[in-house]
Amino acid sequence: MSIPAAPTRSEVRSRTVIGGIGVSVPETSISNDELVASYNAWVEKENAARTMRGEAAVRESSSEFIVNASGIRNRHVYEREGILDPERMAPRIPGRTDEELSVLAEFGLGAAKRALSDGGLDAKQLDLIICSNSHPQRPYPALAIEIQQALGAGGAAFDMGLGCSSALAALHVAANLVRSGAHQRILVVVPELVTSHLDFRDRQTHFIFGDAAVAFLVEGLGEREERAGRFEIIGTSLWTQFSSNIRTNFGHLSRLAQDDPSVLHMEGNLIKQVGNKVFKEVTVAGHQFIVDFLAGYDHTPATMRRFWLHQANARMNAMILKLAFGEEVGADRAPTVLDRLGNTAAAGAIIALEENHRDMKSGEYGLLCAFGAGYSIGGALLRMM
Ligand code: COA
């Protein structure tokens, strides 16, 4: 075992870059109409049972509502089978033995390999892997260590998370670890398999999420010569404030709150949110965060060529930018991927970045900004090199 020596002053990298990005989106998808048809088939059956019990009926979902309220038309899913079955309404993902690669490690690995290939790096050149997501596979062993082993990477690895701000939180940590000289080349992996945690019987949230994995490299500038077309990370920041308006109680303690602790009932322990409160509160906090964060670097929203915002709700993003600019901001300036992919939690803003940066000119700035559970907001000011 070799333990890296403490960095010397000359090794400290004051400038950092995103050296490569990888995105992995499952091929299978579900349209609003398909999702709503299965939900409403369940509603019909459920209401027949509720009527018999003298309970209040649940209301149907509608594709029209979903598009108008969120902008989402479609979502890609890791496993379609089971989600659309009104008898099940959850993806059917077979269990794996402890000897097999776990589902989330495999999902993250696809994006990780793409990021390494995009960045022209070999896994052996990494000295840290951070796995950061909203829906971890397990408390331990860290998924990042499993990915480290599967890639054949050296160094160290650990997991972290901050809801939908997980990728930005990891970018904040990685950029500062490289800046301090503690690490030289970090791979951040963000596997978001949200449909596994979603309650497809909850009218408020059943349409929101999709699955996707992303990964990116954070390196010191000067590590390698060729940097044109990459982003320098000018600054990063995080904001958090406690709220239960987006919450999951899934975890080992949930099992103890019921009579039979040998069975974990999912009822009440999956993702839930008070969407309209989140919408209002995070819109206000998000716009203020953007203005304040950019001001800290003598920038304003007007000096940003592009915004890669969290992909939860198209109306919400439009409102955040309108508050920041005082006018509507078009799709070229603030691209959207949520219409095709749904809300892919912490992966969404990185997918928007990956798909929408190749036309940017050297010296142009962009803002990566994600927000969500916590509440949390993460931002990164990027400059095209
Ligand atoms: N189908 C049809 N109607 C629905 C519905 C559905 N699936 N879900 C809710 N409605 C109805 C409600 O019942 C309500 O009608 P009512 O007043 O007659 O009861 C109406 O639509 C408005 O409900 P509301 O919850 O206020 O909707 P909204 O306009 O706030 O949109 C979200 C809901 C979830 C799309 C939106 O609040 C949102 O995206 N919030 C932010 C989420 C977010 O950013 N999360 C971050 C974590 S990643």
Amino acid letter for position 152: G
Residues taking part in catalysis? 164
Q: Within 10 Å of residue 17's Cβ, how many Cβ atoms?
A: 25
User: What pLDDT sits at residue 13?
Assistant: 62
- Structure-token match 């309108």, residue found: 322
Token pair in block for residue 381: 């000011």
pLDDT in tens, 143-189: 999 999 999 999 999 999 999 999 999 999 999 999 999 999 999 99
Element (H, E) at 217: strand 212-220
| Ligand 1 center–CA 66 separation, angstroms | 8
- Is 319 near ligand 1, meaning CB less than 6 Å away? no
The pLDDT of residue 5 is above 60: no
pLDDT in tens, 338-356: 999 999 999 999 999 999 9
The pLDDT of residue 6 is above 70: no
| Ligand 1 center–CA 338 separation, angstroms | 16
- Is 67 near ligand 1, meaning CB less than 6 Å away? no
- Is 276 near ligand 1, meaning CB less than 6 Å away? yes
- How long, in residues, is the chain? 385
Place domain 231-384 in its CATH homologous superfamily. Answer: Thiolase/Chalcone synthase (3.40.47.10)
| Ligand 1 center–CA 274 separation, angstroms | 8
By most ligand atoms within 8 Å of CB, the mutation choice from 32, 164, 201, 279 for ligand 1 is 279
| Ligand 1 center–CA 94 separation, angstroms | 32
Confidence of residue 2 (pLDDT cuts 50, 70, 90): low
Q: Averaged over 299-327, what is the pLDDT?
A: 93
By most ligand atoms within 8 Å of CB, the mutation choice from 276, 280, 317, 371 for ligand 1 is 276
User: What pLDDT sits at residue 165?
Assistant: 98
Q: Within 10 Å of residue 293's Cβ, how many Cβ atoms?
A: 22
The pLDDT of residue 196 is above 80: yes
| Ligand 1 center–CA 342 separation, angstroms | 15
Return all residues near 164 (Cβ < 8 A) that are at least 6 apart: 134, 310, 312, 343, 345, 346, 348, 370, 371, 372, 373, 376
Query: In angstroms, rounded to a whole number, what is the distance separating the alpha carbons of residues 42 and 40?
Result: 5
Could you give the percent of the chain with pLDDT greater than 90? 87
The pLDDT of residue 134 is above 50: yes
Query: In angstroms, rounded to a whole number, what is the distance separating the alpha carbons of residues 326 and 342?
Result: 27
- Is 217 near ligand 1, meaning CB less than 6 Å away? no
Cis before 139 (ω within 30): no
- Is 313 near ligand 1, meaning CB less than 6 Å away? yes
If you ran DSSP here, which 8-state letter would residue 260 be given? Answer: -
- Closest by alpha carbon to 79, among 61, 104, 98, 97? 104
Q: How far is CA 315 from CA 47, 66, 239, 330, in A?
A: 32, 12, 22, 12
327 or 133: which leads in pLDDT? 133
Q: For ligand 1, atom 9, name the residue with the nearest CA.
A: 204
The pLDDT of residue 125 is above 90: yes
- Is 377 near ligand 1, meaning CB less than 6 Å away? no
Q: How far is CA 332 from CA 248, 290, 306, 323, 356, in A?
A: 35, 18, 8, 18, 9
- Is 70 near ligand 1, meaning CB less than 6 Å away? yes
By most ligand atoms within 8 Å of CB, the mutation choice from 59, 168, 270, 319 for ligand 1 is 59
pLDDT in tens, 374-385: 999 999 999 999
DSSP characters over 22-90: EEE--S-EEEHHHHHHHHHHHHHHHHHHHHHHTPPPPPPP-HHHHHHHH---EEE-S--TTTT-TTT-S
Half-sphere exposure of residue 144, counting CA atoms within 13 Å on the CB side?
23
pLDDT in tens, 246-258: 999 988 888 888 8
User: What pLDDT sits at residue 225?
Assistant: 59
Cis before 375 (ω within 30): yes
Query: Using alpha carbons only, how large is the chain's radius of gyration in Å?
Result: 21
Q: Within 10 Å of residue 95's Cβ, how many Cβ atoms?
A: 6
By most ligand atoms within 8 Å of CB, the mutation choice from 133, 278, 284, 309 for ligand 1 is 278
Angle of the 143-151 helix axis to the 103-119 helix axis, nearest 10: 50
Please give the model's pTM, rounded to 2 decimal places: 0.95
pLDDT in tens, 203-233: 999 999 999 999 999 999 875 556 889 999 9
Q: For ligand 1, atom 42, name the residue with the nearest CA.
A: 275
Which residues partner with 382 through β-bridges? 233, 366
Domain boundaries, the chain: 231-384
Atom of ligand 1 nearest to the CA of 205: 34
User: What pLDDT sits at residue 9?
Assistant: 46
Q: Look over the chain and give the mean of its residue pLDDT values, rounded to a whole number.
A: 93
- Is 68 near ligand 1, meaning CB less than 6 Å away? no
